[in-house]
């Protein structure tokens, strides 16, 4: 059904009017300080004040175009009669932040929410792209619940090495394995370093960044087609300006995240995640975003949607192509146009139209990249949710990125108690490991690592690489990069540092994996496990103070989204007093 026009706000209803409109001493202060910056009432009075939350940073190599792109957003805001204000916020650099950008996702989410709330902001443009910036900004915007639109940063250009196309992450892992196996020399390795990241923009495989921006679009939080535009394409500048124009209208229409982020919108996001063969990280982020909106997403819900959704994006790491190819093939609109029967088409999006209206007329220009329904990469099951005595609260695996023969496997565990232990021993020639072993990493979860780093694609021991082994069953409470691949069982919950059964695994214990049956089983008797549990001691507390202490105290487990407990949906936070 076509959308109905929404009732429009009056200028005196603007949130910013509380700061800038009244004839009192406080408002005098606000207006005089606007004049300090050279702005008079004609610049802002009666106009929506639009905050552009910019995650630009010279540490964030994926966002190097954001200062320029913020100017495009401003142009659009001004054209539509708004008053743009650029506001820098924490940038989550996937590359440089340690222990993990995930450790700081909730910090940016909290900052975004409070920056919006404490300022005279009528509407907000969220600029992100590098992995965690997307969920963090969306989480903050949901909780603040003022009109908000997301401007995805766009993927970087395809990588190239002497004529061979390179994909972010995916090909780094692939060629590193070849280097470790002795098949690449240092000169070739440096050439790959030269060519794998060639322009501004986020990773151009279907990693977490591309997944989460696509998910943001499917949720209805971007303009149609925005998430597929490469960062350096001129369409990206135009999309940014268009988003600036649109947010001004959204303010007058009072179209807020709560109007867009319904349970059906989350179903659309999960369906999209499955159809693009998206990153396993999307599950954690979607659970967290939904938690802010008061929507519960149990892991089995992902599994259900996964089973009915074909993977039709032929993109690395599951497939062959890269984001630039995806854009040229019709992008996300083209892909969604192939699965309308799996979507809730009447969901409202930030452009004021329904999802159905937004994808109407979408076309696919290259069937090799966006596959026809009858020739999918996989008929169903981009991500499976497993349970068993090793993961009572669930864990996940991405079978499209695994060697099929390993999806049903039993083997003896080789246990690493934490990442330093893994690093110290994995390439030890004396390590008792074969291609049939199951590599287990403990203490790599939300609290144990901390921050649940992307360590879940445990490296194959060099001695096995030299024998030609390229995949093994690996199990951890960590995440893995969306650009990674392999038979990696991830997000084991509860995690080992919280006393989950993963902490009780010993070298030589047989672990059974049966992905089709959704089962992961530690072949140790209940009595023996109870004895081991009685002897188990939690790891020593790492933090006495600061953000780390807050993180460990407040962060939930993987199946709950790893958000801070005190940031979950609850009674709306009141507007600030202005005295």
Residues at the interface with ligand FES (CB under 6 A): 62, 94-95, 130-131, 168, 202-203, 207, 209
Cα–Cα distance for residue pair 435/438, rounded to 1 Å = 8
Both tokens assigned to 491: 């997000």
| 3-state secondary structure (DSSP) of residue 564 | strand
Return the number of the residue (14 or 101) whose C-beta is nearest ligand FES: 101
Return the number of the residue (159 or 500) whose C-beta is nearest ligand FES: 159
Residue 97 CB, nearest distance to ligand FES (Å)?
A: 10
Residue 231 CB, nearest distance to ligand FES (Å)?
A: 11
Measured CA to CA in angstroms, residue 3 lies from 6, 248, 250, 334, 339 at distances of: 9, 19, 14, 22, 21
Return the number of the residue (207 or 244) whose C-beta is nearest ligand FES: 207
Q: In terms of DSSP bridges, do strands 519-522 and 510-514 run parallel, antiparallel, or are they unpaired?
A: antiparallel
Return the number of the residue (34 or 284) whose C-beta is nearest ligand FES: 284
Residue 384 CB, nearest distance to ligand FES (Å)?
A: 24
Residue 155 CB, nearest distance to ligand FES (Å)?
A: 8
- What are residue 202's DSSP bridge partners? 155
Residue 133 CB, nearest distance to ligand FES (Å)?
A: 8
Instruction: Give exposure, 141-178, as e/b (b: 16+ Cβ within 10 Å).
Output: bbbbbbbbbbbbbbbbbbbebeeebbbbbbbbbbbebe
Residue 65 CB, nearest distance to ligand FES (Å)?
A: 13
Residue 102 CB, nearest distance to ligand FES (Å)?
A: 13
Return the number of the residue (205 or 351) whose C-beta is nearest ligand FES: 205
Measured CA to CA in angstroms, residue 520 lies from 77, 386, 394, 474 at distances of: 52, 6, 9, 12
Cα–Cα distance for residue pair 450/443, rounded to 1 Å = 8
User: Alpha helices of 377-522 — where are they, by DSSP H?
Assistant: 419-425, 462-466
DSSP string, 29-98: HHHHHHHHTT--HHHHTTS-EEEEEE---TT-GGGTTHHHHHHHHHHHHHHTT-EEEEEE-----TTT-S
Both tokens assigned to 38: 């050279």
- Say how many C-beta atoms besides its own lie within 10 A of residue 374's C-beta: 7
Return the number of the residue (34 or 216) whose C-beta is nearest ligand FES: 216
Return the number of the residue (131 or 563) whose C-beta is nearest ligand FES: 131
Residue 201 CB, nearest distance to ligand FES (Å)?
A: 8
Residue 209 CB, nearest distance to ligand FES (Å)?
A: 4
Return the number of the residue (147 or 167) whose C-beta is nearest ligand FES: 167
Cα–Cα distance for residue pair 53/64, rounded to 1 Å = 15
Return the number of the residue (202 or 398) whose C-beta is nearest ligand FES: 202
Measured CA to CA in angstroms, residue 543 lies from 420, 448, 540, 549, 551 at distances of: 18, 12, 9, 5, 9
């Amino acid at each position: 059904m076509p959308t109905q026009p929404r009732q429009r706000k009056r200028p005196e209803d603007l949130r910013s009017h509380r700061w800038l409109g009244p004839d009192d001493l406080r408002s005098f202060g606000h207006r005089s300080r606007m004049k300090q910056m050279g702005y008079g009432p004609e610049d802002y009075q009666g106009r929506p004040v639009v905050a552009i939350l910019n995650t630009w940073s010279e540490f964030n190599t994926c966002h190097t175009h954001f200062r320029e792109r913020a100017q495009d957003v401003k142009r659009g805001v001004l054209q539509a009669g708004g008053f743009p204000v650029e506001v820098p916020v924490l940038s989550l650099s996937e590359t440089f932040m340690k222990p993990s950008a995930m450790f700081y996702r909730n910090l940016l989410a909290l900052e975004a929410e409070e920056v919006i709330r404490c300022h005279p902001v009528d509407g907000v443009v969220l600029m992100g792209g590098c992995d965690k910036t997307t969920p963090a900004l969306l989480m903050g915007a949901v909780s603040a619940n003022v009109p908000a639109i997301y401007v995805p940063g766009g993927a970087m250009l395809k990588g190239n090495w002497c004529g061979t196309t390179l994909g972010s992450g995916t090909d780094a892992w692939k060629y590193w394995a070849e280097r470790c196996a002795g098949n690449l020399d240092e000169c070739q390795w440096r050439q790959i370093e030269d060519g794998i990241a060639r322009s501004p923009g986020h990773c151009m495989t279907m990693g977490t960044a591309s997944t989460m921006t696509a998910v943001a679009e499917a949720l209805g939080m971007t303009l149609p087609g925005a998430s597929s535009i490469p960062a350096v394409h001129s369409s990206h500048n135009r999309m940014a300006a268009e988003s600036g124009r649109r947010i001004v209208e959204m303010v007058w229409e009072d179209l807020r995240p709560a109007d867009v982020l319904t349970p059906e919108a989350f179903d659309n996001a999960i369906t999209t995640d499955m159809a693009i063969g998206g990153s396993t990280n999307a599950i954690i982020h979607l659970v967290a975003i939904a938690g802010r909106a008061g929507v519960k997403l149990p892991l089995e819900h992902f599994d259900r949607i996964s089973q009915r959704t074909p993977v039709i994006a032929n993109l690395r790491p599951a497939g062959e192509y890269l984001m630039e190819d995806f854009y040229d093939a019709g992008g996300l609109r083209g892909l969604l146009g192939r699965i309308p029967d799996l979507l809730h088409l009447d969901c409202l999006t930030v452009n004021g139209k329904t999802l159905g209206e937004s994808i109407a007329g979408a076309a696919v220009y290259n069937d090799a990249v966006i596959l026809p329904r009858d020739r999918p990469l996989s008929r169903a099951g981009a991500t499976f949710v497993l349970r068993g005595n090793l993961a009572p609260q669930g864990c996940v695996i991405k079978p499209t990125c695994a060697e099929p023969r390993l999806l049903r496997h039993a083997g003896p565990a080789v246990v690493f108690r934490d990442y330093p232990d893994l690093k110290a021993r994995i390439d030890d020639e004396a390590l008792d490991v074969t291609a049939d072993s199951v590599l287990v990493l403990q203490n790599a979860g939300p609290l144990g690592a901390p921050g649940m780093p992307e360590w879940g694609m445990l490296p194959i021991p060099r001695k096995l690489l030299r024998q030609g082994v390229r995949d093994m069953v690996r199990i951890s409470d960590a995440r893995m990069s969306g650009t990674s691949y392999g038979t990696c069982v991830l997000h084991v919950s509860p995690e080992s540092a919280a006393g989950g059964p993963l902490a009780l695994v010993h070298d030589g214990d047989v672990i059974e994996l049966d992905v089709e049956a959704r089962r992961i089983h530690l072949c140790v008797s209940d009595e023996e496990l109870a004895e081991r549990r009685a002897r188990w001691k939690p790891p020593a507390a790492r933090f006495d103070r600061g953000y780390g202490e807050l993180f460990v105290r407040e962060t939930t487990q993987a199946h709950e989204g790893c958000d801070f407990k005190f940031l979950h949906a609850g009674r709306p936070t009141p507007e600030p007093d202005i005295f």
